[in-house]
Amino acid sequence: MEYAETAWSAVEEAWLDLDQYINLRDLQSLSSGSLQWENILLVSTTISVTVTLILATQRWFFGYKNAAEKPAVIHVRTPDQALPHWKGIRMDPPTLRSQEEPDMIQCYCPATGQFLGATPASTLLDIDAAIECAAAAQCQWNPSFSARNKVLKTIRKFLLENQEVVARVACRDTGKTMIDASMGEIMVTLEKINWLIKNGERALQPSSRPGSSNPLMFYKAAKVVYEPLGVVAALVSWNYPLHNLMGPILASLYAGNAVIIKCSESVVWSSQYFVQIAREALQACGHSPDLVQLVCCWPETANHLTSHPQISHVTFIGSKPVAHKVAAAAAESLVPLVVELGGKDPCVVFDDDGLDLKTIAHTILRGTFQAAGQNCIGFERVIAQPSAYKTLLDIFRETIPKLRVGAGIDQQDDVDVGACISNMHFDRLEELIADAVAQGAELVAGGHRYPHPKYPQGHYFQPTLLVGVTADMEIAQTEVFGPVLTMMQAETVDQAIDLANSTIYGLGAAVFGANTVTLRKAINDIKSGNIAVNDLAAFYVCQLPFGGCKGSGYGKFGGEEGLQGLCLAKSVAFDSVPFCKTTLPRPLQYPIPSAVKGWEFVKNVNIAGYGVGLWKRFKSLVSLGKSA
The phi, psi pair for 571, rounded to 5°, reads -90, 130
- Contact status, residue 506 vs residue 551, Cβ threshold 8 Å: yes
Q: Whose CA is closest to 569, among 233, 229, 144?
A: 229
Sign of CA dihedral 307, 309, 310, 314: positive
Q: Whose CA is closest to 282, among 153, 157, 151, 144?
A: 151
Rounded (10°) CA dihedral 86, 89, 90, 95: -110
**SS3 assignment, position 113:** coil
- Contact status, residue 264 vs residue 238, Cβ threshold 8 Å: yes
CB atoms within 10 A of CB 56: 20
- How crowded is the C-beta side of 557, counted as CA atoms within 13 Å? 28
Beta strand pairing status for 292-295 and 553-554? unpaired
Q: Determine whether 201 is an active site residue.
A: no
H-helix or E-strand spanning residue 384? strand 381-384
Distances (CA, A) of 344 to 110, 133, 278, 509: 24, 39, 33, 9
CA distance 524 to 540: 19
The phi, psi pair for 223, rounded to 5°, reads -155, 165
Print the SS3 string covering 561-586. HHHHHCEEEEEEEEECCCCCCCCCCH
Sign of CA dihedral 33, 34, 37, 40: positive
The phi, psi pair for 105, rounded to 5°, reads -95, 120
Residues 6+ apart with CB under 8 A from 171: 111, 177, 178, 181, 408, 409, 418
CA distance 612 to 596: 24
Beta strand pairing status for 314-317 and 220-228? unpaired
Sign of CA dihedral 133, 134, 137, 138: negative
Catalytic residue from among 69, 185, 340, 380:
340
**SS3 assignment, position 511:** strand
Residues 6+ apart with CB under 8 A from 555: 337, 338, 339, 340, 547, 565
CA distance 587 to 528: 54
Q: Please measure the distance between the N-terminal and C-terminal CA atoms of the chain and give it in whole angstroms.
A: 65
Which residues make beta-bridge pairs with 231?
258
**SS3 assignment, position 449:** strand
CA distance 153 to 145: 12
Q: Between helices 268-284 and 145-161, what is the axis angle to 10°?
A: 130
CA distance 588 to 239: 62
Beta strand pairing status for 442-445 and 553-554? unpaired
Strand extents, DSSP E, 112-230: 115-120, 207-209, 220-228
Q: Whose CA is closest to 381, among 397, 395, 392?
A: 392
- Just list the catalytic residues: 340
